[in-house]
Amino acid sequence: MGEPVEDKISELEEMARLCRIDIVKMTHAAKSGHPGGSLSAIDSMVALYGTIMRFETNNPDWEDRDRFVMSKGHASPAMYALLHQMGVLEENDLMTFRTLGSVCQGHVDMNWTDGVDFSAGSLGMGLSFGLGCALSARMDESERRIWVMLGDGETQEGQVWEAVMAANYHNVNNLRVIVDRNRIQNDDFMEVQMEIGDIGNKFHSFGWSVREVDGHNMTELVEAMHWTENTDSGPIAIIANTTKGRGVSFMEDNPEFHGKAPNNEELEIALEELS
């Protein structure tokens, strides 16, 4: 790296802060959407795109770009905020979130938005899709790597574990998963709904390389990204321990803000806290 490490970390933290502002603004404008899981996932997404992700803003369809599969597609505000910071989407686009004809569909959709590689909205499917991309990349002898963002609640879907098993069997070394471990799902805390337990251990037992990090510590996240670059034996999972709603006090660890937008008053408080 040609710049001091601390500067890079500060730059990424600032980028994540700007993304958070976009997340609360666009869900407020839409009067709907999923701020909680967007705010928990955004730091690891920024750490990825800000460091090792091969992505060209002016050429989002570049064949050998790395792929990002947002399997927890309800956290679309995080994706759109990130694409805004990356220069793909305009602020105006974000403000049309969830309205008719918008490039910012309710759940991320590859047919609607440049820079989106997967059409999500139904949990449990993204890792399988990523595996298909990974197998294709290997056949094509392409260097592209496939990143999949999973929610922890999402791992209750059986298909996730079909894919975890298959990825190891097919020994793909270009597939990387981030699990946004925020411990809250739609209805309530996971421990109330269906606790999954030690997710990292489960991936590990299927033959994956696993690293657990503080999903809001940019230094740890960036280190984990570089760690994946030096790990080439089979698929990799980063378990990012996070707080749902991170950065906005009344949303933090609050199941209510899984799928609820801030009202006018709440927006003001949120923006103040994020300023």
Nearer to another protein, 208 or 257 (CB): 208
Nearer to another protein, 129 or 203 (CB): 129
Rounded Cα distance between 188 and 22, Å, is 25
Q: Which range, of 24-32, 53-61, 121-129, 242-250, touches another protein by CB under 8 A?
A: 121-129
Residue from 106, 121, 234, 259 binding another protein (CB under 8 A):
121
Nearer to another protein, 3 or 63 (CB): 63
**Residues in contact with 113: Cβ distance below 8 Å, sequence separation at least 6, in sequence order:** 79, 80, 83, 89, 103, 104, 105
Nearest-approach distance from CB 237 to another protein, in angstroms: 17
Structure tokens at 91: 């602020």
- Contact string (CB under 8 A) for another protein, positions 86-115, x = contact: -----------------------xxx----
Residue from 106, 132, 207, 234 binding another protein (CB under 8 A):
132
Nearer to another protein, 131 or 238 (CB): 131
- Contact string (CB under 8 A) for another protein, positions 19-58, x = contact: ----------------------------------------
Nearer to another protein, 27 or 128 (CB): 128
Give the full edge-to-edge strand order of the sheet including 175-181. 67-70, 146-151, 175-181, 236-241, 209-214
Task: Give the chain as a 3 state SS string.
Answer: CCCCHHHHHHHHHHHHHHHHHHHHHHHHHHCCCCHHHHHHHHHHHHHHHCCCCCCCCCCCCCCCCCEEEECCHHHHHHHHHHHHHCCCCCHHHHCCCCCCCCCCCCCCCCCCCCCCCCCCCCCCCHHHHHHHHHHHHHHCCCCCCEEEEEECHHHHCHHHHHHHHHHHHCCCCCEEEEEEECCECCCCEHHHHCCCCCHHHHHHHCCCEEEEEECCCHHHHHHHHHHHHCCCCCCEEEEEECCCCCCCCCCCCCHHHCCCCCCHHHHHHHHHHHC
Site for another protein, residues 147 to 206, rule: CB under 8 A: 158-159, 162-163, 165-166, 169-170
Under the binding rule (CB under 8 A), the answer on residue 241 touching another protein is: no
Nearer to another protein, 160 or 261 (CB): 160
By CB under 8 A, the count of residues binding another protein is 33
Nearest-approach distance from CB 49 to another protein, in angstroms: 20
Nearest-approach distance from CB 111 to another protein, in angstroms: 6
Nearest-approach distance from CB 26 to another protein, in angstroms: 23
By CB under 8 A, name the binding residues for another protein: 63, 69, 109-111, 117-119, 121-122, 124-126, 128-137, 139-140, 158-159, 162-163, 165-166, 169-170
